[in-house]
Chain A
């Protein structure tokens, strides 16, 4: 049961970090200057952005739960289960962000959910 809980936390943290980091970077603006001085200035701006810091924290939670899972669950189970992030991401895009989700994407989500169910059964 603990593995289901950890997989849930891993997938939710992964989705949250994607959304938070993407939103922060959009707010910060496109990065097209890779001179060391500009990158340093960029680093200064991102560390003062709360949603970016929360996103990085969520990425760390994702990595931590992934490692914890690997300590007692097989890699061949953890990796396919991690793909559930595409399911939560799509549901989040549809329900929270009210984005249009096309049919191809729903089919993909269905395949992932069915695939993870098969891996869990096997």
Chain B
């Protein structure tokens, strides 16, 4: 069996997932920036809703955030076309850490050591949950070169 793209595929998986995770975290940062000025417009009065919707639709940060989240979804879906979900999901679990890091860096949120410890536990927990989706027998993940491993 020729498996010429072996390393290439693993590299591609890592590259795509890395870009996906950064896009997702950056998208969330954009949404956080974009939504803050709209909070003052929020109201239970339906008469105020058209103004709120108009303000949301004309907000470039919300558009940027939405586009970045679409990029994440497309990249993640593409990776799933050749890699197992049980491989991709534990890798993507690092997004919790990347989100908090970007929030601290770009939004100036204060993240205490206890908060970081909690974030690390969450990321580790997500990785474990996602990894447990892996069937115990089939250990082949990205080594199958996109072929059906059963064939």
A interface residues, Cβ below 8 angstroms from B: 66-68, 70-72, 74-76, 79-80, 83, 86, 90, 101-102, 104-105, 107-122
Give which listed residue, B39, B100, B118, contacts A117 with CB less than 8 A.
B118
B124:A74 contact, CB within 8 angstroms? no
A111:B121 contact, CB within 8 angstroms? yes
Which residue among A101, A113, A120, A122 has the maximum number of chain B CB atoms within 10 Å of its CB? A122
- How many residues on the B side are at the interface (Cβ–Cβ under 8 A)? 38
Pick the 8 closest A-B CB pairs, nearest first.
Answer: A118-B118, A108-B128, A115-B121, A111-B125, A115-B122, A112-B125, A122-B115, A108-B129
Does B79 lie at the interface of the complex (its beta carbon under 8 Å from any beta carbon of A)?
no
B107:A115 contact, CB within 8 angstroms? no
Does more than half of chain A's interface fall in helix, strand or loop, or is it mixed? helix
Bound complex: CA A114 to CA B118 (Å):
7
A75:B32 contact, CB within 8 angstroms? yes
Give which listed residue, B39, B95, B115, contacts A119 with CB less than 8 A.
B115
Does more than half of chain B's interface fall in helix, strand or loop, or is it mixed? helix
A68 to chain B minimum Cβ distance, whole angstroms, is: 8
Interface contacts (Cβ under 8 Å), in number, total 121
A25 to chain B minimum Cβ distance, whole angstroms, is: 13
User: Inside 8 A of B96's CB, which chain A residues have their CB?
Assistant: 79-80, 83
Bound complex: CA A120 to CA B28 (Å):
20
A39 to chain B minimum Cβ distance, whole angstroms, is: 13
B118:A105 contact, CB within 8 angstroms? no
B21 to chain A minimum Cβ distance, whole angstroms, is: 12
Does B57 lie at the interface of the complex (its beta carbon under 8 Å from any beta carbon of A)?
no
Closest to B100 in A: A76
Beyond the given pairs A72-B39, A79-B100, A115-B118, 6 more chain A to chain B contacts, judged by CB atoms under 8 angstroms and listed by A's residue number, are A68-B35, A71-B42, A79-B28, A107-B128, A112-B129, A114-B118
B interface residues, Cβ below 8 angstroms from A: 28-29, 31-32, 35-36, 38-39, 42, 95-96, 99-100, 102-104, 107, 109, 111-112, 114-115, 117-132
Bound complex: CA A105 to CA B122 (Å):
13
User: Inside 8 A of B31's CB, which chain A residues have their CB?
Assistant: 66-67, 70
User: Inside 8 A of A102's CB, which chain B residues have their CB?
Assistant: 132
A104:B107 contact, CB within 8 angstroms? no
Closest to B128 in A: A108
Bound complex: CA A25 to CA B28 (Å):
27
B82 to chain A minimum Cβ distance, whole angstroms, is: 14
Which residue among B96, B119, B126, B129 has the maximum number of chain A CB atoms within 10 Å of its CB? B129
Given the contacts A74-B109, A111-B121, A83 and B126 also touching, CB distance less than 8 Å: yes
